[in-house]
Amino acid sequence: TVSRLQPFSSTIFAEMTALAVRTGAINLGQGFPDTDGPRAMLEVARSAIADGLNQYPPGPGMPVLREAIAADRAARYGLQYDPDTEVLVTVGATEAISAALLGLVEPGQEVVLIEPYYDSYAAAVALAGGVRRTVSLIPDGDGYALDLDALRAAVGPNTRILVLNSPHNPTGTVFTDAELRAVAELATSRDLLVLSDEVYEHLVFDGRVHTPVAALPGMAERTVTVSSAGKSFSVTGWKTGWVCGPAELVDAVRSAKQFLTFVAGGPFQPAVAHALTHEQAWVAGLREDLQRKRDVLSGALREAGFGVRSSGGTYFVCADITPFGTTDGESFCRALPERIGVAAVPVSVFADHKTPWNHVVRFAFCKRDEVLAEAAERLLGLA
Q: How far is the CB of 85 from ligand PMP (least distance, A)?
A: 22
Under the criterion CB under 6 A, does residue 93 sit at the interface with ligand PMP? yes
CB atoms within 10 A of CB 53: 16
Under the criterion CB under 6 A, does residue 228 sit at the interface with ligand PMP? yes
Of residues 244-303, those binding ligand PMP (CB under 6 A): none
Q: How far is the CB of 320 from ligand PMP (least distance, A)?
A: 21
Q: Which helix (H) or strand (E) holds 161?
A: strand 159-165
Picked from ligand GLN, ligand PMP, none, the partner binding residue 11 (CB below 5 to 8 A depending on kind) is ligand GLN
For 89, list phi and psi in degrees, rounded to 5.
Answer: -90, 135
Q: Read off the DSSP letter of residue 351.
A: -
Among 37, 116, 172, 230, binds ligand PMP (CB under 6 A): 230
Q: How far is the CB of 315 from ligand GLN (least distance, A)?
A: 7
Under the criterion CB under 6 A, does residue 241 sit at the interface with ligand PMP? yes
For ligand GLN, the binding residues (CB under 6 A) are 11, 13, 30-31, 169
Which CB sits closer to ligand GLN, 13 or 324? 13
Residue pair 315/365 in contact (Cβ under 8 Å)? The answer is yes
Parallel/antiparallel/unpaired status of strands 240-244 and 223-228:
antiparallel
Measured between alpha carbons, how far is 184 from 108 in angstroms, rounded to an integer? Answer: 24
Which CB sits closer to ligand GLN, 29 or 83? 29
Q: How far is the CB of 184 from ligand GLN (least distance, A)?
A: 26
Measured between alpha carbons, how far is 184 from 224 in angstroms, rounded to an integer? Answer: 13
> For residue 78, what are the contacts with CB-CB under 8 A and spacing of at least 6?
215
Residue pair 225/77 in contact (Cβ under 8 Å)? The answer is no
Which CB sits closer to ligand PMP, 110 or 197? 197
Q: How far is the CB of 236 from ligand PMP (least distance, A)?
A: 5
Among 166, 167, 214, 165, smallest CA distance to 188 is for 214
Q: Which residues bind ligand PMP (CB under 6 A)?
A: 31, 92-94, 118, 165, 169, 197, 199, 228, 230, 236, 239, 241
